[in-house]
Amino acid sequence: MALVLENVTKSFGKKKALNNINLSFEKGRIYGLLGPNGSGKSTMLKLMTGLTFPTIGTVTLNGHPVTRKSSEQVAYLTELDMFYDVFTVEETVNYMGSQFADFNIEKAKELLGELNLDSTQKVKSLSKGNRGRLKLVTTLSRDTDAILLDEPFSGLDPMVRDSIVNSLLKYIDFENQVLIIATHEITEIESLLDEAIAIHYGNVIGQESVETLREEQGLSVLQWFKQISREQGEG
Amino acid sequence: MGEDFQASKPIYMQIVDKITSEIVQGKRQTGDKLPSVREMAVQMGVNPNTVQRTYAELERLNIVETRRGQGTFVSDNKDLTEELGRNMQDEIIQSFIQKMEEIGVDRKQLVALLQQYLGEGQ
């Protein structure tokens, strides 16, 4: 078991961002954390990478509690990026290589080629789509136990999305890595997922294997998600 | 990302159908090597575990065989294409008859309609 959340509650002041979450994530599988904006997806990812800590409960990675140091074992793509505008693409990759011991420069170079990024271009002059691609390159190039992606498709056009999905499938090391994607864009990643986890105002309201949903209920993840969200609204 | 999938059927079965249909159409010949699980996953834009299941199902149906260390191949069975073709024809005819019956066309009418349609087509 790679990542485990046990009885996790996270409060910000009086507001509960996450409410008694119990989830476990195994390597070799791809999970989708699905929910509208503000449902607690990002908070959950931050707990997994040690950027914030549970108010109640425990988060463990390979059996050890997640701490600030856990970011060494977890690659995390945030909605923001922290690139230096004056660096070129290549300098950015080299810089990341100098910051993370697990950064695989060879993989990064392959990915740059794969995603048609020009290494000599300055970060400042990258289009939004190419900046999104560069974020993915720097995340996927780390040989970590877990890869967490927070809204990787946000604001990117369909062509960029496809190339991102493609690179995910090509470069994830399924033997050793767990991939968790938080998004509200369900259709984009449906066929990638092993499991879908639905989050609604800080609660996990459902967890299903994507193929079981189709086999037993004849539902796509989006249909399932709409159905259980509606039930929440009524209940 | 290659494919669109229907909601009502597991993705791995939809890929089984696709590969089977490619064999019937002659796009894949007996003895041909299938792409590796990872390559197929990238081509289809699906999870490699899904392709794993597809290959396992195809193997169970004796449509492909896995050779240790070499990969997955379309079964070297001369009758395979013919057999799969017949199965596919059966399925299509069955669903056609069922749909016609649902809208109240009995089998006698159905034959007559079919003859008429095909006759007009010439």
Q: Which residue has the tokens 């989708």?
A: A32
Strand partners, A32: A181, A196
Higher pLDDT, B122 or A61: A61
Domains of chain A: 3-234 (3.40.50.300)
| Average pLDDT of the segment spanning A46-50 | 95
Does residue A235 have a pLDDT over 70? no
Secondary-structure percent of chain B, ordered helix, strand, coil, rounded to 5:
60, 5, 35
Test B10 with A28 for CB contact under 8 angstroms: no
Nearest-angstrom CA–CA distance, B91 and A219: 23
Which residues in chain A are contacts of B50 at CB distance < 8 A?
A: 191, 211
For chain B, give every domain's residue range: 11-74, 80-121
The predicted-structure confidence for B61-107, as pLDDT tens digits, reads as follows 999 999 988 999 999 887 888 889 999 999 999 999 999 999 999 98
User: Residue B5 to residues A59, A214, B1, B29: CA-CA distances in angstroms?
Assistant: 36, 11, 11, 25
Q: Compare all CA atoms of chain B with the CA of A210 and give the residue at the minimum distance.
A: B10
Partner B contacted by A27 (CB < 8 A): no
Chain B residues with CB within 8 Å of chain A CB: 1, 3, 5, 7-12, 38, 41-42, 44-50, 53
> What tokens appear for A87 in the block?
């660096």
Which residues in chain A are contacts of B5 at CB distance < 8 A?
A: 191
Q: What is the 3-state secondary structure (H, E, C) of B20-67?
A: HHHHHCCCCCCCCECCCHHHHHHHHCCCHHHHHHHHHHHHHCCCEEEE
Matching CATH number, B11-74, of 1.10.10.10, 1.10.3720.10, 3.40.1190.20, 3.30.70.80 = 1.10.10.10
The predicted-structure confidence for B13-70, as pLDDT tens digits, reads as follows 999 999 999 999 999 999 999 999 999 999 999 999 999 999 999 999 999 999 988 9
| Average pLDDT of the segment spanning A101-121 | 93
Which residues in chain B are contacts of A194 at CB distance < 8 A?
A: 47, 49
- Cross-chain CB nearest to B47 (options A161, A192, A218): A192
So what's the pLDDT on residue B2?
57
